[in-house]
Amino acid sequence: MDFKEACLKAAKLDKTEGAAIQHAFLGLMVTIPAVVKGITADSLKNMIKIDIMKEPYLTIEGNVADLADVVQNLAEWIAGYVKALMAVPEV
């Protein structure tokens, strides 16, 4: 099973036709407040770090152990996109 399939399965989107990386990411953003008690919009923004210049490209700080499968596979999925993009020569 690749990271895309694993992520969609962990996010319970594996049977949703057309589900893609944006659905998994947005689903994670909606699910985090349900799992992490006392979270605010600002603290949610501060939890999520995306940096396409260095690995890991996606990090989520805080206690999201219940979502570890989604987070790990989503990070690997994003890494696949970034690595593929970096492998394309400039034109």
What is 14-71 written as a DSSP string? TTSTT--HHHHHHHHHHHHHHHSTT--HHHHHHHEEE-TTSSSSEEE-SS-GGGHHHH
Would the pTM count as exceeding 0.95?
Answer: no
Q: Which of 75, 69, 68 is nearest to 54 (CA)?
A: 75
Query: Each residue of 37-81: pLDDT tens digit?
Result: 888 889 988 999 989 888 888 998 888 888 999 999 999 999 998
